[in-house]
């Protein structure tokens, strides 16, 4: 299987784009800015969904579904929210087409104009809080802990598969609480969930922190985030959790009666991750030979490839291979036995290496005589000979080793590309090289925006539990009490 695409060093952006397409994860749609997620890519997303959904439910959340269309008037109720999304909104104005006068196409039927225009969901705070007004009367109705798996539309001019598309898939949590303290605790708890998912399943180390006022979610009082570092030195926001205060409760008049009978506005959170995580998974771990997938998210964890010269040998090999497959599957391992006679073993080796399958087992007549198999691991390309006895336990242990190794490699990369800058000149040099740069900032939006304008770097987060240290802002020289994390970002 030919690997006719650039290396990371040649052209990282093209390497990523080509890899996503050639590995059958996704492709561009004829609908400008939208993507088709192919079965192999969607199966990774399904694994992400399953893991996250389990974690959400373990923390008391339930799934629900709300409309794709949101009345335009809902958006005008929360001013900062509408300002944040106005430029990205797709608007439905009519509900019917009719044949064009020349009979060669269709046109909008102007008699079928909507009384109120509808926004195609860019995020669901407004439609959900309109429902919560009917659901909440008393403290007994709280908390409400809802998650929604859905698609959203944000009109993008410059798109890239998984990372930024006009339509994408995500989950969005929306919770309602009786007190400020409960809501903040919820927002922080969900950041913990995202952190655990990124590190345990994606093998992706992340920085945890809060966003500056400039980078905060539209309508939030506080945005918590996890930030990951890609192999080109750019940061990628891998998840956000927002403390919304009472903004949406006030906008939609959502009150509850306290135990004392007083009327109080409800406190809110929202939180979400999207198919952007697919892009992070590819960019953080893959190499010039194709995908490298952490076993916990790999659609195929083990592939078994028979080596044979004729049908008689294939029958003998298949009997043993299928037994190994069943033993592995009994341990919860996803296995593919590729006995296709349309491709040679070497071609199959290259194909599964390119698709990032963590473990490859090759077995032929000689192996059966010796009661062994050849085992190759994708992360290090190492090959070993394993005895067939207890192969299921050995492979299970190997998959854990691979998961840990991929994570350790990503941690080492992040550590090696995290720097400290004490002057603006030093900062500009480091930012050009890429990576996380920890530097002092005077806390003003003006300084933040000027640094962004001059260097393309943004403040990715103010780290949680940050070490306090007095210093001087790299740009203005004004006093600062802590370093914040800068990077160029996707």
CATH at 55? 3.30.930.10
Length of the chain: 490
Choosing from 285, 306, 324, the residue where a domain stops is 285
Choosing from 285, 310, 334, the residue where a domain stops is 285
Contact indicator for 342, 296 with CB cutoff of 8 Å: no
Q: Which CATH number do you get for residue 337?
A: 3.40.50.800
Shared domain for 280 and 317, answered yes or no, is: no
In a domain, 305, yes or no: yes
Ranges of residues in the chain with a pLDDT under 70 are 1-3
Backbone angles phi, psi at 315, to 5 degrees: -65, -40
Of 399, 403, 472, 402, the closest CA to residue 441 belongs to: 472
- C-alpha–C-alpha distance, residues 82 and 77, integer Å: 8
Of 266, 268, 267, 269, the closest CA to residue 190 belongs to: 269
In a domain, 180, yes or no: yes
**Burial category of 302 from C-beta neighbours within 10 Å (exposed 0-12, middle 13-18, buried 19 and up):** buried
H or E stretch including 56? helix 39-58
Shared domain for 71 and 210, answered yes or no, is: yes
Distances 159 to 156, 166, 398, 466 between C-alpha atoms, Å: 6, 7, 38, 34
Contact indicator for 180, 267 with CB cutoff of 8 Å: yes
Shared domain for 371 and 469, answered yes or no, is: no
Q: Which CATH number do you get for residue 446?
A: 3.30.110.30
Please report how the helices 391-416 and 276-285 are oriented relative to each other, as an axis angle in degrees rounded to 10. Answer: 90
Distances 429 to 1, 417, 424, 457, 482 between C-alpha atoms, Å: 40, 13, 9, 12, 21
Task: Please give the pLDDT value at position 156.
Answer: 86
Contact indicator for 311, 369 with CB cutoff of 8 Å: no
Q: Which domain holds residue 47?
A: 12-81+125-285
Shared domain for 213 and 308, answered yes or no, is: no
Number of independent structural domains in the chain:
3
Shared domain for 151 and 226, answered yes or no, is: yes
Choosing from 285, 316, 339, the residue where a domain stops is 285
Shared domain for 316 and 252, answered yes or no, is: no
In a domain, 94, yes or no: no
- Sign of the CA dihedral with 469 first, then 474, 477, and 480 last: negative
- C-alpha–C-alpha distance, residues 35 and 169, integer Å: 11
In a domain, 115, yes or no: no
Shared domain for 253 and 336, answered yes or no, is: no
Q: For residue 141, what is the DSSP state?
A: G
Task: Please give the pLDDT value at position 10.
Answer: 94
In a domain, 119, yes or no: no
In a domain, 292, yes or no: no
Shared domain for 323 and 235, answered yes or no, is: no
Shared domain for 280 and 174, answered yes or no, is: yes
Shared domain for 372 and 426, answered yes or no, is: no
Shared domain for 151 and 274, answered yes or no, is: yes
Measured at the CA of 312, the angle between CA 324 and CA 392, to 5 degrees, comes to: 5
In a domain, 107, yes or no: no
Q: Provide the 10 A C-beta neighbour count for residue 327.
A: 17
Shared domain for 210 and 351, answered yes or no, is: no
In a domain, 4, yes or no: no
């Amino acid at each position: 299987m030919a690997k006719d695409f650039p290396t990371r060093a040649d052209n990282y952006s093209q390497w990523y784009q080509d890899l996503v397409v050639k590995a059958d994860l996704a492709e561009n749609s004829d609908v400008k800015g939208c993507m088709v997620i192919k079965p192999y890519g969607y199966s990774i997303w399904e694994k992400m969904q399953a893991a996250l959904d389990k974690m959400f439910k373990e923390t008391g959340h339930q799934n629900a579904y709300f409309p794709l269309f949101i009345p335009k008037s809902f958006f005008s109720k929360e001013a900062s929210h509408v300002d944040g999304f106005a430029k990205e909104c797709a608007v439905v104005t009519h509900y019917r087409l009719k044949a064009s006068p020349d009979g060669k196409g269709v046109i909008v039927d102007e008699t079928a104009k909507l009384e109120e225009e509808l926004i195609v969901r860019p995020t669901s705070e407004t439609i959900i809080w309109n429902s919560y007004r009917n659901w909440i009367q008393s403290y007994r109705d709280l908390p409400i802990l809802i998650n929604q798996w859905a698609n959203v539309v944000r009109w993008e001019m410059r798109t890239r598969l998984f990372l930024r598309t006009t339509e994408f898939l995500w989950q969005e949590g929306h919770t309602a609480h009786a007190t400020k303290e409960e809501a903040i605790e919820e927002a922080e708890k969900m950041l913990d969930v995202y952190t655990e998912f990124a590190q345990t399943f994606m093998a992706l180390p992340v920085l945890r922190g809060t966003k500056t006022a400039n980078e905060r979610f539209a309508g939030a009082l506080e945005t918590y985030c996890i930030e990951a570092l890609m192999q080109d030195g750019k940061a990628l926001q891998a998840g956000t959790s927002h403390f919304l205060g009472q903004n949406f409760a006030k906008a939609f008049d959502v009150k509850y009666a306290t135990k004392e009978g007083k009327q109080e506005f409800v406190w809110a959170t929202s939180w979400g991750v999207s198919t952007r995580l697919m892009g992070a998974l590819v960019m953080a771990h893959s190499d010039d030979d194709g995908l490298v997938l952490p076993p916990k998210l790999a659609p195929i964890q083990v592939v078994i490839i028979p080596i044979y010269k004729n049908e008689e040998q294939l029958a003998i090999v298949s009997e043993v291979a299928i037994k190994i497959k069943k033993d592995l599957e009994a341990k919860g391992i996803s296995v593919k036995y590729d006995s296709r006679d349309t491709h040679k073993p070497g071609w199959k080796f290259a194909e599964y290496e390119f698709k990032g399958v963590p473990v490859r087992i090759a077995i032929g007549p000689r192996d059966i005589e010796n009661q062994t198999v050849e085992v190759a691991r994708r992360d290090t390309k190492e090959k070993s000979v394993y005895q067939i006895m207890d192969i299921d336990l050995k492979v299970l242990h190997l998959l854990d080793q691979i998961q840990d190794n991929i994570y350790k490699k990503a941690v080492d990369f992040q550590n090696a590309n995290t720097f400290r800058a004490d002057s603006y000149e030093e900062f500009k040099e480091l930012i050009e090289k890429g990576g996380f740069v920890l530097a002092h900032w005077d806390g003003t939006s003006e300084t933040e925006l000027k640094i962004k304008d001059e260097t393309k770097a943004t403040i990715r987060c103010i780290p949680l539990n940050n070490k306090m240290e007095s210093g001087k802002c790299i740009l203005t020289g004004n006093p600062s009490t802590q370093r914040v994390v800068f990077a160029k970002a996707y």
